[in-house]
Amino acid sequence: MPFCRRVCWFCACRTQSPHSDASVKAKVRVLNAEIALITQLPKDITLSRLLWGGGTPTLLSAELIRDLVAAITKAEPRALRAEFSLEIDPNEIGDRRLHALASSTHIRTIRDRHFATAHGHALGGKDLLRARLIEALMCDFRICRAEILSQFAISADQLERMFQEVSAAFPGMLQISAKGLDICKEARPLPRMIARNFDAYDLSCFDRRTAF
């Protein structure tokens, strides 16, 4: 699915940021038509492995997800132990998309929200926070303090401590201000390394009563 809400500067995938849903819907219509051609193949074929990549497949609306899964299932029945892999953007997956995936694919890990993440299998507040921090650094070279505090259950003191401790590992490369944290121009070839430190940051030290 060659669409992303935002196109990361470092990405080599063939993707684009759609200006409207029209191009996304058109792509799904073409896919459905192409998938329908598979019904002309011998009937003893079953689907053993399916990967939804991109781009960002979870940019699709819940209705389009259901339509696409229905087209695939109609064309090819799934094998008994079929594998279904899906690239998910945790920042916009949402309850409706999750329900559409779970109800149409009958995949237990999606239904129970047990996603494979770098820090376990439960996609919780900490995983969403890490994902947003990494996205901000990789795409914008900055983390907006007000945005993080408004969207996540993390205190201003906790966020400041994270900024200070990660910045200490990159002296002269990061600038902390009242607005947030910026990667200095000279360090912009290194956002992956900086993002990795935010991803590895130990959030368990935060007070559980006030964080996440």
Break the chain into its structural domains and give their ranges: 21-112, 125-205
pLDDT of residue 17: 82
Higher pLDDT, 29 or 131: 29
Note whether 29 and 41 are within 8 A (CB): no
Residue 156 has pLDDT above 80, yes or no: yes
Helix (H) or strand (E) holding 84: strand 78-86
Task: Please give the sequence-ordered ranges of beta strands (E in DSSP) within 89-161, or none if there are none.
Answer: 114-117, 120-122, 142-144
Higher pLDDT, 176 or 152: 176
Percentage of residues in the chain having pLDDT higher than 70: 83
The CATH number of the domain covering residues in 125-205? 1.10.10.920
Reported as a pLDDT band with limits 50, 70 and 90, residue 12 is low
pLDDT of residue 168: 92
DSSP 52: E
Rounded mean pLDDT, 16-26: 85
Dihedral sign computed on CA atoms, order 11, 57, 6, 186: negative
Higher pLDDT, 166 or 195: 166
- C-alpha dist (Å) from residue 88 to 4, 36, 85, 148: 11, 25, 10, 20
pLDDT of residue 83: 76
pLDDT of residue 206: 60
Residue 125 has pLDDT above 80, yes or no: no
Mean pLDDT, the chain, integer = 79
pLDDT of residue 118: 45
Q: Give the predicted TM-score (pTM) of the model.
A: 0.55
Note whether 74 and 39 are within 8 A (CB): yes
Residue 6 has pLDDT above 80, yes or no: no
Reported as a pLDDT band with limits 50, 70 and 90, residue 110 is low
Higher pLDDT, 78 or 194: 194
Residue 159 has pLDDT above 90, yes or no: yes
Residue 97 has pLDDT above 70, yes or no: yes
